[in-house]
Structures are given as C-alpha cells and as structure tokens.
Amino acid sequence: MARPDLNLLVTLDVLLQEGSVTRAGERLALSPSAMSRALARLRRATGDPLLVRAGRGLVPTPHALALRDRVRGLVQEAEEVLRPAEELDLATLARTFALRSSDGFVERFGPALVAEVGKEAPGVRLRFLQKTRKDTARLRDGVVDLETGVIEHALAPDVVSRPLFTDRFIGVVRNEHPLSAGKVTTARYASARHVHVSRRGLTEGLVDEALHPTGRHREVVTVVDGFSAALALANASDLVATVPERHTANLRQGMCSFELPFRAPEVTVSLLWHVRLDADPAHRWLRDRVLDACRFDEPR
C-alpha cells in the first residue's frame, strides 16, 4: 500500500478553511489549475468529494465537516514539531540531570555547581553518580547526561567531549610523615612506601612512567580504586599517596602536600556527553555551568 502524501493535509486544511479553490490557491501560492489537481488527489485519497458546488460557491460535505477539526489539529501539531525550540526559560525549567564523575570531583567542584544551578534554575535537580569504570555505555543508554574523565583513547563518534581543566600529580602524606619535613628528593620519595590508585588493579601508572627516567622505582604496597581511599590510608599510616592536585583539593585538607621531585605527569579532565543531547538548550546550559565551576576554582 502506497504511503499517503502528508503534504495534502496542509492543502486540505486550507481548502476547508477557505471553502474556495481560488482563495486556497492564493494562500498556498498555487495556480488555480494546480489547486484543482490537488483537490482531485484529495478526493481520491479520502474517497469523498469534500467540496461540492452550491450555486456559485463550494460547500463542504458531511465527511469534510467531520475531518475539519481533526485536520486543523494535525497541521497545528506538525507545525509545533517542526518549529525551532523555544528559548530556554530557566526560571520554569524542571528537569533532573545525572552527572557521573570520579571521587573528588563532587567535593571540589560540586558546591559551586549546585549553587549556580540553584540560583539560575531552581527547578533543576542534579544527581551525582560515582564513576567506577571507564566506559560510555551509560551516556549512550541515557542513564547519565554528563560525565567527567580523562580521555585515553579515541571516543566513539556518538560521544562529544570538551576539556575542563588540566591537572598535575602531587604527593600527599600525613603531617607526621618523614616526608612532611625537609626537601623531598627523588630518592626520598622513591624509597617510601606508596599507595597506588587504579580501578583496574594495576600496580603502575603515569607516576611510575614519569619516575622511570630517573632510574628510581617506588614501592607500591597497596592498590585502591579511588583517590579518597588512597588519601584515607595515607592520612592514617606512613603511606604516600600521589594524586591529581585540583581534583583532590578538598579530600586532602589537613594533610601535607608536596610537589614531586621529578617532572610531574599531567592529565586533562574532560566533560563528555552523547551527541543526541548536543543541541538541547537545557543540556548546553548545564555544560556551561560545569565549565564555569571548574574555571572558578582554577589556581591563580
């Protein structure tokens, strides 16, 4: 069965409003002959004359009268669908956004983000989720609206990203640790006992790659899957935690932080989202607020 020409709905709507082939043609910028052909097609499609002559004019048939309101509603709904999205009204926006990030991000950037979102759009709710592994499946299936992370490999074509900030690694120990006093040399750093952060359970990472050219190797005695766990262990023992500086600023309060005595590795933390949300005005607004929150906390 052939699919109907939906353009005929607009023609039928105008014909039923005007009750005249000539006036309908003028509104649609069609010649009288083109309009007559369109009416003939409508008659074939509906199986009804639709408009019949009465004296010098045309009058609608009962079937046309029954269709008039339905056709008007369908055309208006189609026009709404095809009309550009209305300007975003933050004062009335009511929506929940899910953001997935590694531990430390919410503690560091969450307060500024929540405050700004609440000030501009009080009806928006933020739901923060813990990132336990690197994958974009939750962005793709719509469970997560935004995600932060370090991009290690090329992203899938349906995932969009934007850099948020660059972070560098530093060392962190409890205040009574031997490394909290005196100059931290490469030898002192490497000879200490270390806690390493790896979601995959690896015992080496970027810090070890940066340390290798010095000829030194650190002794990793404990592996955890998050920065907060690493800092908790370091704060309660003589372990050294090596973590991103900006990402963990709030988590390491009250502890002793020091610059690494070798070239510290750096990582770029990015914001990720699915391409289907790229043009969404509310989502675009939230992305900008996340970026603003990260910029606000930039070191000066």
95-155+277-296 shares the fold of 7-82:
no
> In whole angstroms, what is the distance from residue 199 CA to residue 227 CA?
10
| Whole-angstrom distance, CA of residue 205 vs CA of residue 202 | 7
In this model, does residue 289 exceed pLDDT 70? Answer: yes
Confidence class for position 168, pLDDT limits 50, 70, 90: very high
Q: Where are the domains of the chain?
A: 7-82, 95-155+277-296, 166-267
Per-residue pLDDT of 8-30, as tens digits, reads: 889 999 988 888 888 988 898 98
DSSP 63-122: HHHHHHHHHHHHHHHHHHHHSPPPPP-TTT--EEEEEEE-TTHHHHHHHHHHHHHHHH-T
pLDDT of residue 87: 80
Q: Is the pLDDT of residue 284 over 60?
A: yes
0.75 surpassed by pTM: no
pLDDT at 241 exceeding the cut of 80: yes
d(CA 74, CA 78): 6
The 10s digit of each residue's pLDDT in 64-80 is: 899 888 988 888 888 77
- The yes-or-no verdict on residue 230 having pLDDT over 60 is yes
133 or 225: which carries more pLDDT confidence? 225
Position 300 pLDDT exceeds 50: no
pLDDT classification of 236: cutoffs 50, 70, 90:
very high
Phi/psi for 49 (5° steps) reads: -65, -25
| Residue 185's pLDDT band (cuts 50, 70, 90) | very high
Mean pLDDT confidence for 42-54: 90
Write out pLDDT tens, residues 110-130: 999 999 999 999 999 999 998
Vertex 26: Cα angle to 22 and 29 (nearest 5): 130
Average pLDDT, the chain: 91
Q: What is the DSSP letter of 202?
A: -
**Mean pLDDT throughout 27-54?**
90
Q: How confident is the model at residue 7 (pLDDT cuts 50, 70, 90)?
A: confident
Average pLDDT of the segment spanning 243-266:
94
Superfamily of domain 95-155+277-296, CATH level 4:
Periplasmic binding protein-like II (3.40.190.10)
Say which CATH architecture domain 166-267 belongs to.
3-Layer(aba) Sandwich (3.40)
The larger pLDDT score, comparing residue 240 to residue 74, is at 240
User: Per CATH, the architecture of 7-82 is what?
Assistant: Orthogonal Bundle (1.10)
Strand partners, 171: 242, 258
Count the Cβ atoms, other than its own, within 10 Å of residue 147: 24
Surface-to-core class of residue 188, CB atoms within 10 Å of its CB (0-12 exposed, 13-18 middle, 19+ buried): middle
